[in-house]
């Protein structure tokens, strides 16, 4: 099963809307930042937290970049 098929089936099963192509890009970007800035386990957990936060994906991705960069001097 292709990823888009799995995502559509999972969305239907849980009664949610599958992400648009733009949303998927933002989510994958967030996951990539988390995975490369820390351990790979950070990616799915960051995405789960982002979903619960209810904030715009662009804002969340920017915040992830800020965390990756660390505290400013």
- Per-residue confidence (pLDDT) for residue 73, from 0 to 100: 66
The distance from CA 11 to its chain's CA centroid, rounded to whole angstroms, is: 15
Domain positions in the chain are 20-69
End-to-end CA distance of the chain: 48
Q: What is the mean pLDDT of residues 10-21?
A: 94
**What is the pTM assigned to this prediction?**
0.83
71: DSSP letter: -
**Among 54, 1, 64, residue whose Cα is nearest residue 28:** 64
Q: How far apart are CA 35 and CA 19, in angstroms?
A: 20
Percent of the chain with pLDDT over 70: 99
For 46-69, write each residue's pLDDT tens digit: 999 999 998 999 999 999 999 999
Q: What is the mean pLDDT of residues 2-31?
A: 94
Burial (CB count within 10 angstroms: exposed 0-12, middle 13-18, buried 19+), residue 40: exposed
């Amino acid at each position: 099963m292709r990823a888009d098929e799995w995502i559509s089936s999972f969305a239907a099963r849980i009664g949610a809307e599958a992400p648009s192509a733009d949303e998927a890009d933002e989510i994958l970007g967030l996951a990539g930042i988390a995975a490369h800035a820390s351990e790979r386990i950070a990616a799915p957990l960051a995405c789960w937290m982002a979903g619960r936060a209810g904030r715009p994906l662009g804002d969340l991705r920017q915040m992830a970049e800020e965390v990756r960069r660390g505290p400013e001097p």
